[in-house]
A and B are shown apart, each in its own frame.
Chain A
Amino acid sequence: MKDEVDNREDRVANLKGMGCSRKRVEDARFTQGKGNYVDDVKLDGMLFGDFVRSPYAHARITSINTEEALKVPGVLAVLTAADLEPLGLHWMPTLAGDKQMVLADGKVLFQGQEVAFVVAQDRYAAADGIEAVEVEYEELPVIVDPFESLKSDVILREDLDPTADGAHGPRKHPNHIFTWEAGDKEPTEEVIANAEVVAEEEMYYHRTHPCPLETCGCVASMDKVNGKLTLWGTFQAPHAIRTVVSLISGIEEHNIRVISPDIGGGFGNKVGAYPGYVCSVVASIVTGKPVKWIEDRMDNLMTTAFARDYWMKGKISATKDGKITGLHCHVTADHGGFDACADPTKFPAGFMNICTGSYDIPTAYLEVDGVYTNKAPGGVSYRCSFRVTEAVYFIERMIEVLAIKLNMDAAELRRINFIKKEQFPYTAALGWEYDSGDYHTAWEKALTTVDYDGLRAEQAQRVEDFKAGKTRKLMGIGLSFFTEIVGAGPVKNCDILGLGMFDSCEIRIHPTGSAIARLGTISQGQGHATTFAQILASEIGLPADSITIEEGDTDTAPYGLGTYGSRSTPVAGAATAMAGRKIRAKAQMIAAYLLEVHDNDVEFDVDRFVVKGAPEKFKTMKEIAFAAYNQAIPGIEPGLEAVSYYDPPNMTYPFGAYVCVMDIDVDTGVPEIRRFYALDDCGTRINPMIIEGQVHGGLTEALAVALGQEIAYDDMGNCKTGTLMDFFLPTAWEVPNYETDYTVTPSPHHPIGAKGVGESPHVGGVPCFSNAVQDAFRPFGNTHTNMPHDHWRIWKMANDLGLHD
């Protein structure tokens, strides 16, 4: 008997299925320098394209002269809006229902905007050509403040009818884009007006940028003989790009092949469609040669895909003993010159309406006003699901502000307001149905592990020591408890440009018992080739090492909406499990035939089907795979393949409890992170090693945003943070070691109970780092100070509070 048990354990281990820390199959090529990123793509006769960009944030273009540029050796063509206009490609639709200039059409709206596209034999010739293009500008008044924009007589978007509705309804001003509401306005105002305690705060979530180490780029190759366009690029959603390219170019979709090769990090930067893609395609059609366009870092930071830039105004009401009764939030959202936010169509402010957070708040109201300014377009989800980072920052700051007002411990305030385990599924005041959660258990585990009471006692002592002149370092304890909403999403309410946000998996089992599976998603470092094979291994009983995972080639992969918003595991992971179950269902019939019993008399056991009650009679999946190709089985088609398109019934709601302990030198403003504890509940855990890696990385991006990273402009609309000299990316020196922990609350509606994890640490991490800084100064009167908390700003917090006197 014992032998048999051991044997079963061995069989489970052999699969390397779900729950094991399987080493990554991607790493062999990456560690040997054999990754294949878009800039590694080389084709015969390939040309290089690059942009003339506007030095002004707002200007009329009076003339563009390309004559001299065309004389530069190596320059083949210079495209301007006038060249694109006959093709109808001088403007392109944005994901947010707006339109954006591909090349400046009469004016520019932000610094760095694309004005002309120079096509040359190599990068050096392109750079020479750019120097030689003569553009005359007539400067216009610049608006970089969204509040000023809504009062200004200066109309930024002269192409729009100033009084006409936008894609999301009525506009209040020519520079206004939309108003988006969720919840109940009057009841919320009434609850707040009559509340025992009300806390109010205004906070600015600064503009930043995902800044993956690899910038955006593409190679377009139009094969005029076959009429086929191949487009390699840094695309987080290759199928959506294919459809968009087809719609705007008129090339039939079957004649377009989009390939996302290895992607050097995305973090939301590579979801959108950029002028560089359109210009490369046109240039390839014009020249008949492949054309490559790769951003440099300055192009990347200044033009493609900013994130955040939300001015948030909150009111939160509670009873005297801390039970929250209402929440009111107004956001003024700076979208830059074009509304190019990457959100599901019906959600112009993303899922900002998850801003009631993890708390049982009976009444709430959210209103978001989108505004045009002379800043770069974007508004992407930087390592988060559609504005969830903003929402979680908002509520986790409001909780802290309320705790100060109530003179109550912020951990206790959270505890008494958490949605209780038995309330799930829980419908929040702003509309979402949270699928599952056990917040109290996670919170207690976190607070106990870090010895929260001990930390508070130490902090109190530190304040005394500081006042007594014994130390110049303050101690901050940052808390955050977040609930995410990821896995977009149900087709009934989530689409992008009309494409439902389902996802897909197609599996082929080979005769010798190995397999290939293709998905509609695309890894950018998340390790899909490793983890999706693990899901399949557990579902179909073939070793993960015998399963190849392929993504990113639209000619072979089934249609899907790509990877962002932590949707790969919740949506494509579900499709994978469901396709695996279809394989298993057919395998069951084949096994029953081979074992000469009824279908219902066999059952699946790890890697085989066994006759019920007679485990010695079995057929392994490997044997079944072979039989599928060599046996003529009555009533069953040969072969063993399956495809699943999965439309999730709901989002998933990962959550977590984070604690950060910081020592802050008030004289230098330098924060030292002494401890960071992160407990994540992402439901069923597929690969703990990869989860931990995602948490480390997400926390580090959170540290960056909270402690220094920003895209800043001066009053003239000059971007002040266009290189890594000014834009903060943490190095190994600034980053602490993190402690990771977990609880497991499986998603009840997901086939394997998984919820997604890649973005949680960023979403929960930003408020945690920020709360730690703010908490250090709380005993001296700080209620709220805006991020980023770089050294100077922390020093200024101390100075403003009189701590340098």
Chain B
Amino acid sequence: MSKKMHTTLKVNGKQEEFLAEPRELLIYTLRERLNITGPHIGCETSHCGACTVTIDGKSVKSCTMFAAQAEGAEITTIEGLGGPDDLHPLQEAFKEHHGLQCGYCTPGMITRATKLLEEIPNPTEEEIRFGMAGNICRCTGYQNIVKSIQAAATEMNAAKEAAE
């Protein structure tokens, strides 16, 4: 067994500090060590996206990254996007447009979508489908996920305009 590594992370605004083996995967750190169970494990090969989190502004699949690689990073998971009193527009839109069924892919899906809408605030359907292709859903057939993201984009753009 290798020497444990001192790791510091900022997760959903909270500073975390711990000793972990170099082989500890980030998804394990989040789910087992920090009890942040929104991100899920679906494939362990970076294909399904259920474990998607945002690390320093980028969408990352946390099942194939070591915690040690994230040293010093700022991480946002679904839990950091919005809660009961301040839902993120994407959380609202997925509910409103039936963008989920079993819910297992949803945390990763919504977390990825927040970055997509930062990258492309007004995406076409094609851009949404391409930009979300790293996240697999087995239930919805994606049609309502696309609809949800479009609706959230409209909502977010309107809010932005109103604020300007």
| Residue positions of A touching B, CB distance < 8 A | 23-24, 26-35, 37, 39-40, 42, 73, 122-124, 211-215, 262-265, 267, 294, 296-298, 524-527, 689-690, 692-693, 696-701, 723-725, 729, 731-733, 735, 737-738
A732–B35 alpha-carbon span in the complex (Å): 30
Q: Within the complex, which residue of B23, B37, B104 is in contact with A214, where a contact is CB–CB below 8 Å?
A: B104
A24/B40 in contact, CB under 8 A: no
B145/A732 in contact, CB under 8 A: yes
A211/B100 in contact, CB under 8 A: no
A693/B144 in contact, CB under 8 A: yes
A266–B101 alpha-carbon span in the complex (Å): 11
B142/A30 in contact, CB under 8 A: no
Q: Within the complex, which residue of A35, A42, A298, A693 is in contact with B140, where a contact is CB–CB below 8 Å?
A: A693
A33/B77 in contact, CB under 8 A: yes
Which residues from B are CB-within-8-Å of A263?
A: 102
A24–B141 alpha-carbon span in the complex (Å): 17
Stretch of B3-11, B41-49, B64-72, B156-164 that contacts chain A = B41-49
Which residues from B are CB-within-8-Å of A693?
A: 98, 101, 139-141, 144
A28/B138 in contact, CB under 8 A: no
Q: Within the complex, which residue of B45, B84, B129, B138 is in contact with A732, where a contact is CB–CB below 8 Å?
A: B129
CB nearest neighbor in A for B80: A33
CB distance from A552 to the nearest CB of B (A): 13
B143/A524 in contact, CB under 8 A: no
Which residues from A are CB-within-8-Å of B37?
A: 33, 39-40
B41/A39 in contact, CB under 8 A: yes
B40/A39 in contact, CB under 8 A: yes
Counting from the closest, the 10 A-B pairs by CB-CB distance are A33-B38, A30-B103, A525-B102, A264-B104, A696-B141, A33-B78, A525-B101, A700-B141, A724-B47, A732-B142
Q: Within the complex, which residue of B1, B95, B107, B143 is in contact with A738, where a contact is CB–CB below 8 Å?
A: B143
In chain B between 29 and 64, which residues have their CB closer than 8 angstroms to a CB of chain A?
Answer: 31-32, 35-45, 47-48, 50
Which residues from A are CB-within-8-Å of B42?
A: 213-215, 297
A213–B45 alpha-carbon span in the complex (Å): 13
Of listed A31, A37, A124, A214, residue having the most chain B CB within 10 A: A31
Which residues from A are CB-within-8-Å of B96?
A: 23
Q: Within the complex, which residue of B23, B31, B48, B78 is in contact with A213, where a contact is CB–CB below 8 Å?
A: B48
Check: B105 CB closer than 8 A to any chain A CB.
Answer: yes
A296–B42 alpha-carbon span in the complex (Å): 8
CB distance from A326 to the nearest CB of B (A): 38
Number of interface residues of B (CB under 8 A): 60
A380–B69 alpha-carbon span in the complex (Å): 41
CB nearest neighbor in A for B130: A733
A32/B78 in contact, CB under 8 A: yes
Given known contacts A697-B139, A724-B48, A37 and B28 CB-to-CB distance under 8 angstroms: no
CB nearest neighbor in A for B104: A264
A267/B44 in contact, CB under 8 A: no
Which residues from B are CB-within-8-Å of A696?
A: 140-144
Majority SS of interface residues in chain A?
loop
CB nearest neighbor in B for A41: B37
B95/A701 in contact, CB under 8 A: no
A31-B110, A37-B40 given; 8 more Cβ-contact pairs under 8 Å: A32-B79, A262-B102, A265-B102, A265-B104, A265-B138, A267-B138, A693-B141, A732-B129
Interface pairs (26), CB distance under 8 Å: A24-B98, A33-B79, A33-B107, A35-B106, A37-B104, A122-B32, A124-B23, A212-B138, A213-B104, A213-B105, A214-B42, A214-B104, A262-B102, A264-B40, A526-B101, A693-B140, A697-B141, A723-B47, A724-B48, A724-B136, A725-B45, A729-B136, A731-B135, A732-B128, A732-B129, A737-B146
Q: Within the complex, which residue of B1, B24, B91, B102 is in contact with A264, where a contact is CB–CB below 8 Å?
A: B102
B142/A735 in contact, CB under 8 A: yes
CB distance from B20 to the nearest CB of A (A): 10
CB distance from B61 to the nearest CB of A (A): 12
A39–B146 alpha-carbon span in the complex (Å): 28
Which residues from A are CB-within-8-Å of B40?
A: 37, 39, 213-214, 264
Check: B133 CB closer than 8 A to any chain A CB.
Answer: yes
CB nearest neighbor in B for A23: B95
A690/B50 in contact, CB under 8 A: no
B38/A27 in contact, CB under 8 A: no
Which residues from B are CB-within-8-Å of A33?
A: 36-39, 77-79, 106-107
Which residues from A are CB-within-8-Å of B38?
A: 32-34
A525–B103 alpha-carbon span in the complex (Å): 7
In chain B between 67 and 96, which residues have their CB closer than 8 angstroms to a CB of chain A?
Answer: 77-79, 82-84, 87, 91, 94-96
Which residues from B are CB-within-8-Å of A262?
A: 102-103
Given known contacts A696-B144, A729-B136, A738-B143, A31 and B106 CB-to-CB distance under 8 angstroms: yes
Q: Within the complex, which residue of A294, A701, A737 is in contact with B138, where a contact is CB–CB below 8 Å?
A: A701
Which residues from A are CB-within-8-Å of B140?
A: 693, 696-697, 700
Check: B137 CB closer than 8 A to any chain A CB.
Answer: yes
Which residues from B are CB-within-8-Å of A123?
A: 28
CB distance from A695 to the nearest CB of B (A): 8
B143/A213 in contact, CB under 8 A: no
B21/A213 in contact, CB under 8 A: no
A213–B106 alpha-carbon span in the complex (Å): 11
B102/A124 in contact, CB under 8 A: no
B138/A731 in contact, CB under 8 A: no
Check: B153 CB closer than 8 A to any chain A CB.
Answer: no
CB nearest neighbor in B for A127: B23
A31/B100 in contact, CB under 8 A: yes
CB nearest neighbor in A for B106: A30
CB nearest neighbor in B for A524: B102
Given known contacts A32-B91, A214-B104, A724-B45, A733 and B129 CB-to-CB distance under 8 angstroms: yes
A39–B30 alpha-carbon span in the complex (Å): 13
Q: Within the complex, which residue of A215, A297, A525 is in contact with B139, where a contact is CB–CB below 8 Å?
A: A525
